[in-house]
Structures are given as structure tokens and as C-alpha cells.
């Protein structure tokens, strides 16, 4: 089955090939467009085996360095601002207000990226849940405001989707790994630029959860 879908001027998708569905009704309801727009051109997460009953994602060294650079720049600019206020250097070339604004933006961006990319992602057979958030130690049947919880017995497949993300001067490929649920809905696990890592993770999760992989191959429209 081949299907090409254009999602806008910045990204294009999707040439579906070699997709195996066990349920025709579910097939008709599962979307093959990217679940998340954008992504990154490098690996952001690493899947590790915490125990025989638990797999979990941790941030890669690359994303840790990326987040730290933003935070370090922001804190450095804020330090220069406070230093200028303390010594009252009127000859400073950079206005204090500009340092405050730019430093604040970089600091906030760094903190938000740390918060987002360091959010725990856990597949726990003991509790029977997929957990994504900062409250992953107390899985319950009730919805949590601080974490996403999905019962593992509602997950029927893993979905891989490639996406070409276009900017004004460059473009890159990013790849999604999604959960497909019994009702045909999808939940994104990770989205980054390393196809090999995404495929390896899907293989490990497929074996761990005993579910198939539905692969959608990215293809850019001319």
C-alpha cells in the first residue's frame, strides 16, 4: 500500500510500504501522518533495560549537551547583567535590559528543554502501564495530571513514521515511534533523527510487549 500525504510547506509525508495490519477495521482508522510536527536531526533518547519487567528511556548525551548550552548561555548573560548593575559600569557596550531579556529567554528555553527531554518514559510490566511523566512511580487506573498513563494491554502495535522537516535554509529527517491503541488512536513515544535507534528500539519493544511493528517509510514529494 502506497500513500503520499503532504502536511504543509515545512514537511511532507508519507509513502507507506510493507505495512502489515491484522485488523482491517483498525487499519482504516489508524492515521499514517506524523503525530507530532517537527522533531530533531539527532538522537534524543536511549532505551535501556532497567529489569526483566521494565524498559525505560533516558536522555542521550547529545540532548543533554544541547540543553546545557542554552542554559549556560542564558545564565552567563544574566551574570553579566548583574555584574553590570553591581559595578555600575556606564561604559558597557551592551544595555542591561538587553542582557536581561536575551539571558532570560535562553535560561527559560534551557530549563524547559531539560524538563521536556528528561521526562521519564517507562514500560512497566509489573504495574501493567506505559508511563510518561514525572509521576511514574505510582501507576493507577486513575488519570494523572502529571504523567501520561496507558495500560499495556490496550497497545496493539508500534508505528514508525519518517518525516522530512523543512526550514528556510535547510531540511532534515526525523522519525517517530508511536504506540497504536485498540481504539485506533496513537501516542508518541519519541521523535528524533536517528532511524537506526528508532528501529532498534522498536525491535526491543516489540519483543518486550509481544506486539507487531507497523512501518511507514518517509518520502519527500517533488
pLDDT digits (tens, 9 = 90+) for 135-193: 766 655 555 555 689 999 999 999 999 888 887 777 888 999 999 999 889 999 999 98
Nearest in space to 28 (alpha carbons), one of 170, 218, 184, 181: 184
Q: Is the pTM higher than 0.85?
A: no
Residue 48 pLDDT exceeds 50: yes
Most confident of 15-24, 80-89, 124-133, 142-151: 124-133
Amino acid at each position: 500500500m502506497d500513500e503520499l500525504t503532504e502536511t504543509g510547506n515545512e514537511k511532507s509525508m508519507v509513502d507507506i510500504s510493507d505495512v502489515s495490519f491484522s485488523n482491517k477495521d483498525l487499519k482504516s482508522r489508524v492515521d499514517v501522518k506524523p503525530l507530532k510536527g517537527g522533531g530533531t536531526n539527532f538522537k534524543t533518547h536511549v532505551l535501556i533495560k532497567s529489569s526483566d519487567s521494565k524498559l525505560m528511556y533516558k536522555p542521550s548525551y547529545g540532548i543533554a549537551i544541547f540543553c546545557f548550552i542554552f542554559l549556560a548561555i542564558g545564565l552567563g548573560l544574566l551574570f553579566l547583567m548583574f555584574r553590570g548593575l553591581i559595578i555600575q559600569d556606564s561604559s558597557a557596550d551592551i544595555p542591561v535590559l538587553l542582557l536581561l531579556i536575551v539571558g532570560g529567554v535562553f535560561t527559560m528555553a534551557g530549563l524547559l528543554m531539560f524538563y521536556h527531554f528528561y521526562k521519564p518514559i517507562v514500560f512497566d510490566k509489573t504495574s501493567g502501564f506505559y508511563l510518561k511523566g514525572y509521576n511514574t512511580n505510582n501507576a493507577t487506573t486513575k488519570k494523572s495530571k502529571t504523567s501520561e498513563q496507558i495500560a499495556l494491554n490496550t497497545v496493539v502495535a508500534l508505528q514508525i513514521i519518517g518525516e522530512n522537516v523543512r526550514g528556510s535554509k535547510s531540511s532534515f529527517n526525523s522519525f517517530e515511534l508511536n504506540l497504536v491503541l485498540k481504539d485506533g488512536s496513537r501516542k508518541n513515544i519519541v521523535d528524533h533523527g536517528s532511524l537506526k535507534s528508532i528501529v532498534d528500539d522498536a525491535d526491543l519493544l516489540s519483543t518486550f510487549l509481544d506486539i507487531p511493528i507497523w512501518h511507514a517509510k518517509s518520502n519527500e514529494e517533488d
